[in-house]
Amino acid sequence: MITATQTMDEQWFYLVDAVIESRSGDILRKIYQAYYLNPPDAFSDILHQISEQIDRLKDALNQMTDHCHPWIFYHLIRKYIAGWGEEGMLYGNEEVPRKYVGSSAAQSPLIQAIDVCFGIHYDKSDPMVGIIMESRKYMMNKHVLFLEWLEKEVDLRKRAQELGSDAKMAYNRCLDSLAAFRRDHIIIVSRFILSVDKGINDEEKKGTGGSPIVQFLKFVRQNMDQYKFKEIKKKKKKKKKKRKRSRKGKGGGLGHPTLYVGGATEKKKKKKKIKKNKKKKK
Ligand code: HEM
């Protein structure tokens, strides 16, 4: 691979992104299956599969640190993917400088498409939404049209609501996986940018995509929370409490009752073996 810095780190940086993009095809196919093709009783199963696939995106993301060093990323690679800044850049004989932000995975339609399909939207009055919409200007036109089509056509949250508690639980699981992906992404950003650049306050640091990093990533991450089905959470908690109570009754608080019983029979077996061996020796 030809890179600007000729480092393994830069190759790895692009490779991780490419792996995540290539895995996304499976997710979109599954979303299509869940929404259009399968009978309603398969909906939850497919959503569980989707959540596993989102977990695989997270695993790939976490491999960033395997061969891309934060210092090399920040001091060598990042300047090649940065934008033109406030002054802009004169193109050819043009007289007015053009202003472009740099490249960022935020400009990929992948995560936006997943958000949209799960019915996750943003409060239009929040200034941070502007950054998401701005990122679409850097996407291929076909991708933007696809996102707009998804916005009108697909809503897995609404479907889960119609189908009932199993579907809602599966929906929540997908959102948990997406939230975990974003949590780990924030950790990566913190290691690759915030901790390397000690020069200015974190609140003032900007991403290559031009966003105020900390505020923007926090906003996107927190926005998801309102979409989880809250009543499902409560049911789960109730079930957990019930299970705890019944364990206390059966096993006297010693953990799982079957493990306890298993332990006792093992002891008896050992005693029998020792007795047999003693008899043999006599
Ligand atoms: C060293 C690795 C990475 C760093 C330092 C990094 C940094 C950032 C920063 C600073 C932003 C804020 C927007 C901006 O101004 O650019 C952002 C947004 C974003 N990044 Fe990354 N990123 C990395 C890798 C990735 C990868 C591999 C993906 C793969 C999909 C990704 C997906 C996203 C998405 C989807 C957003 C938009 C916010 C969201 O939807 O949560 N990033 N990233």
Mean pLDDT, residues 23-37 taken together:
95
pLDDT at 12 over 50: yes
Under DSSP, is residue 208 helix (H, G, I), strand (E, B) or coil? coil
Q: How far apart are CA 46 and CA 59, in angstroms?
A: 20
* Percent of the chain at pLDDT exceeding 90: 71
Where is average pLDDT lowest: 27-41, 137-151, 201-215, 223-237?
223-237
More confident residue, 127 or 45: 45
Q: How far is the CA of 31 from the centre of ligand 1 (A)?
A: 23
Q: Which residue shows structure tokens 């049911």?
A: 235
Fold classified for 8-84+98-238:
Methane Monooxygenase Hydroxylase; Chain G, domain 1 (1.20.58)
pLDDT for res 260: 27
Residue among 15, 129, 182, 185 whose CB has most ligand 1 atoms within 8 A, to mutate: 185
The predicted pLDDT at position 85 comes to: 80
Q: Which of 172-181, 225-234, 270-279 has the lowest mean pLDDT?
A: 270-279
Q: Return the best residue to mutate from 104, 215, 223 for the ligand 1 pocket (most ligand atoms within 8 A of CB).
A: 104
pLDDT exceeds 60 at position 263: no
Residues having CB closer than 6 A to ligand 1 are 16-17, 20, 61, 64, 73, 104-106, 108, 110-111, 182, 185, 188-189, 192-193, 207-211, 213, 216-217, 220
Please tell me the predicted confidence (pLDDT) of residue 203: 82
Provide the token pair at 162: 């119609």
Across residues 185-211, what is the average pLDDT?
90
Q: What integer is the mean pLDDT of 139-155?
A: 97
Amino acid at 44: S
Give the N- to C-terminal CA distance of the chain in Å, as an integer.
75
Helix (H) or strand (E) holding 209: none
The per-residue pLDDT for range 201-259, each reduced to its tens digit, is 888 888 998 899 999 999 999 999 999 999 876 555 566 666 666 555 443 332 222 22
Measure 151 CA to ligand 1 centroid, in angstroms. 22
The rounded distance, in Å, linking the Cα atoms of 70 and 96 is 36
- Counting atoms of ligand 1 from 1, which one is nearest the CA of 112? 40
Please give the pLDDT value at position 47: 97
Residue nearest to atom 19 of ligand 1 (CA): 106
Q: Is the pLDDT of residue 166 over 70?
A: yes
Q: What are the φ/ψ torsions at residue 195 (nearest 5 degrees)?
A: -80, -20
Atom of ligand 1 nearest to the CA of 210: 15
The residue extents of the domains of the chain are 8-84+98-238, 252-281
Name the residue at shortest CA distance from atom 11 of ligand 1.
207
